[in-house]
A = this chain, B = another copy of it.
C-alpha cells in the first residue's frame, strides 16, 4: 500500500475555530483511489513545529499533503517553511500572476501588491493552478517522497484536487495494482448496540473483511472494507458481507450509496411521481433546508411553511384553535392537523409536519425537552408519531428531521414504522 499523511497548518484548527474538513475531504478521495491514509497532523502557524511535522510525515509516508498558510496575509508562513524545507528560493510565475489578474477582472476589482506577491512560487516546485483563488499550489519531491502543498480554503483546495491532483494520482496508483474497496450502509432508527446484536456473531459474518460501526445523530453507518491484489475477489468478499447484513437489517438501511436521507427520499418521490410539502414548527426549516440541498428538488418539493407561532399554524395550515387549546401545540393531534393542512393547501401527495420542544426552555411537567410529534398525511392515511429525544437543541432538530424523513421513506416503501 502507498502511505499518505495529511498535514494541516493553522492555529485556527488547533484552537477549534475552524473544523478540519480539508483532511476529511483529502482522506476520502485518496482512500477511494486505493491509497492508505495513515495519519493526519495539525500544527500551528509556527515554523519549528511545521518543520518537525513535515519531517515526521516524510519519514512515515510516501505522499504528503500540506494545506493552509498560503494566503496573502502576514500570518501565512507555509511558503517560507517550504523554501527552507526544500532548500529552494522564490521565483515569479507568469501563469500564476495571469490567473490572479483574471480572477480580479471577473470580480471587477484591481490587483494589489498583496495579491501580486502570491505569484512568487518556490523555484523547484511544479505550480498547481488555482482557478478559485489567488494562492497557487505546489508539487514538490524530496527523497522519493511526493509533496502537494495547497491553500487551506476548502473550496479552492477541492477545486485543485479535482482538476489536477486526483487525476494524476489515479494514473499513478493504477500501475501499482493494489485494491482497496469499501461499502457503506447507512442505517437509522436503531441504536449502535441494537444493530450490533441484530447482526449476531461479527467475526463469522465478516470473514476477511473489516466492519466498522459509526454512530451519529443521523443513525449508524456500517462500513465494510477489504484489501487484496485481485480486484474482483475483493469486491466479491465485500458484497457477500453486504448481502448478509442486508438480510438481517434491511428495514433500517436507507442507503447503500452513501446518500443522505434527503436525497434518498427525493429519489423515491421522483420515481413514484409523488410531491411533498412540509409544515415545520420545532425543526424550524431544517427539513425543507435538507430537502432543498438536493439539486432538482423543485421537481417534488412544492413548499414549506415554518409555522412557529400558533396563529400561523391556524392561519396558513388551518389547525383548529380548539385542538391547540385542548391538546397543546406540542401534541399528536396538532401534528396531524398540520400535516393534513399543508397537504391540502399545496395539493401535494404527502404532507409532513413536526411540532415539539427542542430546548433548552419550554418544558412542562408532562412534556419534557426532546419531545416531538411527527405528523404524516397522504391520500390514504394520516397519523402522528411520538419521539422522545435528548436535551441538546441542535441535536434534537437534527434527530427530528432525520426521523421525519425516515418516516416518509418507510411510508413510500410500505415498511412498518415500529422500531
Which residues of A does B touch, CB under 8 Å?
Answer: 11-21, 23-29, 31, 37-45, 49, 53, 56, 71-75, 109, 112, 114-115, 132, 134, 153, 155, 182, 184, 192-194, 196-197, 202-203, 210-217, 221, 223, 278, 280, 283-293, 295-298, 301-309, 311-312, 315-316, 345-346, 359-361, 390, 392-395, 397
A274 to B336, CA, bound (A): 31
Query: For A346, what are the chain B residues with a Cβ–Cβ distance below 8 Å?
Result: 312
Q: Check B285 against A308 for contact (C-beta < 8 Å).
A: no
Count the copies.
2
Interface of A is mostly: mixed
Query: For A304, what are the chain B residues with a Cβ–Cβ distance below 8 Å?
Result: 284-285, 304-306, 308
A124 to B409, CA, bound (A): 49
Query: For A53, what are the chain B residues with a Cβ–Cβ distance below 8 Å?
Result: 39
**Contact A306-B308, Cβ < 8 Å, known A13-B24, A73-B196, A292-B285:** no
Q: Check B284 against A134 for contact (C-beta < 8 Å).
A: no
**Contact A72-B37, Cβ < 8 Å, known A214-B17, A285-B304:** no
Q: Which one of B134, B285, B359 lies within 8 Å of A306 (CB-CB)?
A: B285
Query: For A14, what are the chain B residues with a Cβ–Cβ distance below 8 Å?
Result: 27, 31, 37-40
Q: What are 26 residue pairs bridging A and B, where the CB atoms are less than 8 Å apart in the complex?
A: A14-B40, A16-B24, A17-B214, A18-B216, A38-B44, A38-B49, A39-B49, A40-B42, A45-B212, A72-B196, A73-B202, A75-B211, A109-B194, A114-B193, A114-B196, A115-B193, A284-B292, A284-B293, A292-B397, A295-B359, A304-B305, A305-B316, A306-B306, A312-B346, A315-B345, A316-B345
Q: Check A210 against B308 for contact (C-beta < 8 Å).
A: no
Closest to A397 in B: B293
Q: Check B71 against A393 for contact (C-beta < 8 Å).
A: no
Shortest Cβ distance from residue A201 to the other chain B in the assembled complex, whole angstroms: 10
Query: For A29, what are the chain B residues with a Cβ–Cβ distance below 8 Å?
Result: 16
Query: For A393, what are the chain B residues with a Cβ–Cβ distance below 8 Å?
Result: 293, 295
